[in-house]
Amino acid sequence: MSILVVGSVAFDSIKTPFGQVDRTLGGSAVHFSLAASILSRVNLVGVVGSDFGHDQITFLQKRGINVDALAKVENGKTFFWEGFYEYDMNTAHTVKTELNVFQNFDPVIPEAMKNSEYVFLANIDPDIQLKLIQQVKSPKLIVCDTMNYWIETKRDRLIDVLKRVNVALLNDGEARQLFKTPNLLKAAKQVLALGVKTVIIKKGEHGALMFGHDSVFSAPAFPMEDIIDPTGAGDSFAGGFLSFIDKQKKVNDRILRQAVVYATVIASFNVQNFGTKGLENVVYGDIKARYNKLSQISEFKNL
């Protein structure tokens, strides 16, 4: 089976202390899809403008990403984000956001994709996320992401989304903001109380925490000397996480833990270059080697 992802497809201009790029391919759905396509077939639902050309479409297709549901608006422009990072790579500073055709994004899932077993709802408007949940038929797992803007402006609708998904992805700042608490354990428990089965809190270079109703798991990040651009790392994490589960064809605590570690490894490749460049030439063997190394350096025994 394949994974369904709904999210942004964009052009990004990014500056970090280590260089800059202009109008490189980006967007949550793109970073997710590139990460997930290493193990799974991905159906991408999104929208672009007439400036999104044949080269970009071909690039995605060559990686096994189905773009049949990528709508193209003629005489419109693709979503654009410009931002920069200082030496604290955990904080993105926005210079410019141009929603363009994404402003009126109201996706309809094609009939052939409504039976998708695994669904990722990227950090789009919670009202759209709710509509999408109603369109899919009996998925095994729905994973949703969000961002501080939706917590600030549509918190009640976001809570409605969380009541209807299986896995919630948040970064540590969003988790604290959502329930106004500095304590991540308390924040996770309040998300779980909504009916979510699993909460994953991404902590950037400090790894990730996963909370279930009866379990807690802490995964370290892969140690990196060179972090060039963290844009899309969270979405590539999500792509790695969901594709690993798709490959196993089942979900249990052991697989969820492995999936989180696999996801942190995928994210470590993403940050090694600008935009999508960090993932463009990665193959499963590269991920496996780094996964096994992370397992070795994190191993310890009970007292």
What pTM does this model have?
0.96
- Structural domains counted in the chain: 1
Are β-strands 198-202 and 208-211 bridged in parallel, bridged antiparallel, or unpaired?
antiparallel
pLDDT tens for each residue of 51-108: 999 999 999 999 999 999 999 999 999 999 999 999 888 888 999 999 999 999 999 9
On the CB side of 189, CA atoms within 13 Å amount to 7
303 within domain boundaries: no
pLDDT tens for each residue of 167-215: 999 999 999 999 999 999 999 999 999 999 999 999 988 899 999 999 9
* CATH, residue 22: 3.40.1190.20
pLDDT tens for each residue of 273-295: 999 999 999 999 999 999 999 99
- Report how far residue 291's alpha carbon sits from residue 258's, in angstroms, rounded to the nearest whole number: 9
CA-wise closest residue to 257 among 297, 196, 216: 216
71 within domain boundaries: yes
In the chain, pLDDT over 90 holds for what percent of residues? 92
Task: State which residues form the domain around 274.
Answer: 2-298
On the CB side of 29, CA atoms within 13 Å amount to 27
Residue 300's pLDDT is 84
244 within domain boundaries: yes
73 within domain boundaries: yes
pLDDT tens for each residue of 207-225: 999 999 999 999 999 998 8
250 within domain boundaries: yes
